[in-house]
Structure 1
Amino acid sequence: MLRASVAILVLLSLSGVHGEDPYIYFTWNVTYGTIAPLGVPQQGILINGQFPGPNINSTTNNNIVVNVYNFLDEPFLLSWNGIQQRKNSWEDGMEGTNCPIPPGENFTYHFQVKDQIGSFFYFPSLAMHKAAGAFGGLRINSRLLIPVPFDPPADDYTVLIGDWYTKNHKVLARLLGSGRSIVRPAGVLINGKSGKDDEPLFTVEAGKTYRYRVCNVGLRTSLNFRIQGHTMKLVEMDGSHTVQNIYDSLDVHVGQCYSVLVTADQAPKDYYIVASTRFMKQVMTATGVIRYAGSNSRPSPKLPEGPVGWGWSLNQWRTFRWNLTASAARPNPQGSYHYGSINITRTIKLLNCRTRVNGKLRYALNGISHVNGDTPFKLAEYFNIANRVFEYNRMGDVPAVEEGAAAAILTPNVITAEFRTFIEIVFENPDKSIQSYHLDGYSFFPVGMGPGRWTTESRKTYNLLDAVSRHTIQVYPKSWTAIMLTFDNAGMWNLRSEIWERRYLGQQLYISVLSPARSLRDEYNIPDNALRCGAVVGLPLPPSYV
């Protein structure tokens, strides 16, 4: 039986949320439904009957309340890609922080998009649900008191691009569980469509400028995005305003979001938007139509060509710069956080590897292939039974073996980070395929990338002035990427490969950031409606933070 939703009581029970900030409410029914985005009927996961799911349109500091009813025959969770959840990992929606919503029950998420602006998305975080849908756009607009560094567009469009599989999500999970790979996708989608018809996705008026929020919500493939006959002005990525350079196309890696301004300054007819795969031998392409109002002309069948090679992509990344003169709603306002002058207190080097354990395919970081248990790590920690569920710091700060082919240990991978310390994380990728990493609860500064192995000499190449603060970053084949951040957001946070097969098979970890003060100033108490599962069922609540 579905539990009654008492949203008002839930809201009153959450400490630290101020009544003067507006609330926006959603009720979402999660169901199975038949979809055929590539022409093959398959079982999808729908939200209120929609694929992709409904768009969340909010303003910074809004309280978002989402009551999720799970009508599937399996547990379900949603996570909010890039939303920092300040002091509130209770709403993060990852398996290591929250109990799943059981079939036939509901859970009310309540979080505040505190001091954030920009383009984000939500997605289902359990199993291989992301391969079946249940993802959608989440935009956070700036308040009128905080001007953005461009004129208001004529309209604001969400563009969700991603690779797609026609196999059922449970079949994909069984393939991985049996030790095999899910291999390459069947195609590419734009807003749930492959572009087999010429019905317009968006309509524009000549002479006006439009904002397109482009997010890669796929499972494994970097995509190049471009618009036939038009250039794009990049203005924001992953919640940060950028220096406004002009691009013919943009590489959007898995988990990333970009905002571009496009002026309808061409002859009034139809034009294709294009998303095509990168770093694959066989290029897969999806298209969608932008129609000028009153157009009766079909788009030209000649699509703009995409770039070749990852060197082009690396050079494009080097052109991205933070807009230091723009106002922004952020915990550390742009222009005031001089990250390049802060002393590094700790360096963590993460080496990914592909390996086999008991004959089955696994992925690992520094020799640890992460596994989840019946009890979320955050709950075990909060109820003071962590030693019954996992062991901290099984993984070292540097890989024990510098080659990526060492045997891996299957165990929960939970490390600790001292509260408010400034840490450097280096991702080393010895593989021939591109990687993409995301850190929940934070934005970080990607300060450097380069081929080969990272050394301390690599720091001489860092951008210590205006690296774009973001939450997801790519690591090119046989290359490294370095990021810097202050661990000032208490909670239990997931750092994962956004290549979903790799995440599913162990290429992830959790970072426990505990405030020694155990104070509401640093972290909220567990919400009254929090689901309990595993070893914490029936345990008394620990003393509340004050």
Structure 2
Amino acid sequence: MSQPAMGCIKSFVAVLVCLCAVAVQAEDPYLFFDWNVTYGMISPLGVPQQGILINGQFPGPKINCTSNNNIVVNVFNNLDEPLLLTWYGVQQRKNSWQDGNPGTMCPIAPGTNFTYRFQVKDQIGSSFYYPTTSLQKASGGIGGLQIHSRLLIPVPFDPPADDFSVLTGDWYTKGHKSLKRLLDSGRPLGRPDGIQINGNSYTKDEPLFTMEAGKTYRYRVCNVGMKTSLNFRIQNHTLKLVEMEGSHTVQNVYDSLDVHVGQCLSVLVTANQDPKDYFMVVSSRFTKKLLTTVALIHYANGKGPASPELPPPPPETETGIAWSINQFRSFRWNLTASAARPNPQGSYHYGQINITRTFKLVNSRARVDGKLRYAVNGFSHTDAVTPFKLAEYYGVQDKVFKYDTMKDEPDKVPESANNNINVLVTSNVVNATFRNFVEIVFENREKTIQTWHLDGYSFFAVAIEPGRWSPDKRKNYNLVDAVSRNTIQVYPGSWAAVMTTLDNAGMWNLRSEMGERAYLGQQLYLSVLSPARSLRDEYNLPDNALLCGMVTNLPKPPPYSI
């Protein structure tokens, strides 16, 4: 080969190397949002009431992003009370500073603003955001958060004709301040007044979505309510499940799907029926009084009203619980699908990892000084003026809380909600070991369904069964293709088991997703500290972090190093 030709080849290779280096070092894209949080009039059930709006909207603005995007949200709090927003289901790697819970952050004071900065690193799926301060979620401040796959990562279904967001949940016509006063006085919230879909109770002539005959659509359904499990179905149409809380699933087909509080899923719906109108139906599950609402789905160029005959709900009582458990068992992780990163999800063989630690968490309710409280293993959590994460970072945790007041398994647990042991109201922070592989068992001895969520992680939902849990129940675990998710339901008189690796350093909230229960103590925090205090494991305290309580005027600790 001639010298000029060889020189050209070397120059070309050098250019390629430089381009690759630039590509590797380039930052992922940024998305910027400015949100103004205010009160305003809304009518989710047709009754005007004061709600919480974001940029004048309820639901709030949708965050449409792609895996690895950096999200920057400047929140102006124009309420008359403190505010925090949590990015539900987003696994904020190394960044519990932005988690939006009272145990990790100081609230945004009225009349001030705060800028959240986080990355949706190696994630996909359907989620939402909501306020965590007091019971503000009961008045709104909720919006969709959708993370799409990067173009180079194949998705296991064809692109849909459109992507619809369905934020549905139970609703009270009393505002969150009235509901908070009820709980503070020692009384329960009682039954919700109805069910809303995307902030409305729709009429029979106002279409929510429009489909074209022959095309397939993605419906992202999230239960953003306070306490009620729901069933979702569409008249005369089947639902092909394709994603659940950030994981692609085996694509089974259902007539209806149970969606418990805090849970999100995606289904594909093909417009393959006669071109006319159809009802989307959402109804309550496991409640004494059946609550039902509908929304209209219109076929473009279709003629004819929707049939008044609605598809029936699944069975209730014990038969209904068995039906719902069997549906849960049919959910499977799609091991042939790519994840949000190039390596396949199925390469993580969680069933072959030895369990390092087991938490058995038993929920209960009690009266403390005449007032209603909810507990985990006999401990009813209360927040401190100084967020636990800040106290830990500044080295004053001994003055704010104690680690491990709650044991991994209770010495004594109530046989039922009416036979409770004494409950201690205190800050409940568990000292967890970085990179331990843990098993968490939720045992529900009460007569109402529960839902649990873990911030900062996805876990493998390996089992749900009736009765009591014991170690020999592990033989029934799904150790191959359990769905990786972040929320799990626990039926009355039943238990659920999940597994996860505590590889995300930070202070992470494990809580009941039932708003009443979390507010009255049914939650705890997992402190997952990296001994190395390295930026490889956890980010430093953000420069704009709000300070409160004991750390307000303390000197800033030395930053983590590489």
Decide: shared fold, TM above 0.5: yes
Please give the alpha-carbon distance, in whole angstroms, between the structure 2 residues aligned to 1:192 and 1:332. Answer: 39
Please give the alpha-carbon distance, in whole angstroms, between the structure 1 residues aligned to 2:517 and 2:302. Answer: 45
Q: CA deviation at 1:149?
A: 0.3
Q: What residue number does 1:376 align with?
A: 387
Q: What residue number does 1:32 align with?
A: 39
Q: What residue number does 2:539 align with?
A: 524
Q: What residue number does 1:223 align with?
A: 230
Q: What residue number does 1:10 align with?
A: none
Secondary structure of residue in 1 paired with 2:485: coil
Q: CA deviation at 1:493?
A: 0.1
Q: CA deviation at 1:197?
A: 4.1
Q: CA deviation at 1:47?
A: 0.2
User: Are residue 264 (structure 1) and residue 271 (structure 2) matched?
Assistant: yes
Deviation string 1:311-333 (CA, Å, 9 cap, x unpaired) is 11001000000000000115984
Q: 2:337 aligns with which of 307, 326, 337?
A: 326
Q: CA deviation at 1:85?
A: 0.2
For structure 1, which segment, 144-153 or 193-202, has the greater mean C-alpha deviation from structure 2 after superposition? 193-202
Q: Is the 8 A contact 1:76 1:126 kept in 2?
A: yes
Secondary structure of residue in 1 paired with 2:509: strand
Q: 1:446 aligns with which of 437, 461, 467?
A: 461
Q: How is 1:461-540 mapped onto 2 (pairs within 5 angstroms)?
A: 461-540=476-555
Deviation string 1:509-531 (CA, Å, 9 cap, x unpaired) is 00000000000000000000010
- Amino acid in the other structure paired with 1:515: S
Q: What residue number does 2:435 align with?
A: 420
Q: What residue number does 1:364 align with?
A: 375
Q: 1:181 aligns with which of 182, 188, 197?
A: 188
Q: CA deviation at 1:37?
A: 1.5
Please give the alpha-carbon distance, in whole angstroms, between the structure 2 residues aligned to 1:491 and 1:448. Answer: 27
Secondary structure of residue in 1 paired with 2:389: helix
For structure 1, which segment, 270-279 or 188-197, has the greater mean C-alpha deviation from structure 2 after superposition? 188-197
Please give the alpha-carbon distance, in whole angstroms, between the structure 2 residues aligned to 1:306 and 1:97. Answer: 40
Q: What residue number does 2:157 align with?
A: 150
Percent identity (aligned): 69
- Amino acid in the other structure paired with 1:452: G
Please give the alpha-carbon distance, in whole angstroms, between the structure 1 residues aligned to 2:186 and 2:531. Answer: 42
Number of positions where the alignment pairs a residue of Structure 1 with one of Structure 2: 530
User: Are residue 341 (structure 1) and residue 341 (structure 2) matched?
Assistant: no
Q: What residue number does 2:17 align with?
A: none
Distance 1:428 1:489, change over 3 A: same
Larger radius of gyration: 2
Distance 1:331 1:536, change over 3 A: farther
For structure 1, which segment, 449-458 or 288-297, has the greater mean C-alpha deviation from structure 2 after superposition? 288-297
Q: How is 1:146-295 mapped onto 2 (pairs within 5 angstroms)?
A: 146-295=153-302
User: Are residue 307 (structure 1) and residue 314 (structure 2) matched?
Assistant: yes
> Which structure 2 residue ranges, 5 or more long, are not aligned?
1-23
Q: Is the 8 A contact 1:118 1:238 kept in 2?
A: yes
Q: 1:436 aligns with which of 441, 451, 458?
A: 451
- Amino acid in the other structure paired with 2:329: R
Q: How is 1:52-201 mapped onto 2 (pairs within 5 angstroms)?
A: 52-201=59-208
Q: What residue number does 1:8 align with?
A: none
- Amino acid in the other structure paired with 2:454: L
Please give the alpha-carbon distance, in whole angstroms, between the structure 2 residues aligned to 1:393 and 1:277. Answer: 37
Secondary structure of residue in 2 paired with 1:379: helix
Distance 1:451 1:421, change over 3 A: same
Distance 1:19 1:166, change over 3 A: farther
Please give the alpha-carbon distance, in whole angstroms, between the structure 1 residues aligned to 2:404 and 2:204. Answer: 52
User: Are residue 20 (structure 1) and residue 31 (structure 2) matched?
Assistant: no
Please give the alpha-carbon distance, in whole angstroms, between the structure 1 residues aligned to 2:378 and 2:259. Answer: 29
- Amino acid in the other structure paired with 1:271: Y
Q: Is the 8 A contact 1:200 1:289 kept in 2?
A: yes
- The alignment's TM-score, normalised by the length of structure 1, stands at 0.96
> Which structure 1 residue ranges, 5 or more long, are not aligned?
1-16
Deviation string 1:13-62 (CA, Å, 9 cap, x unpaired) is xxxx9752000010000000011111211110000000111111000000
Q: 2:364 aligns with which of 350, 353, 366?
A: 353
Q: CA deviation at 1:198?
A: 2.3
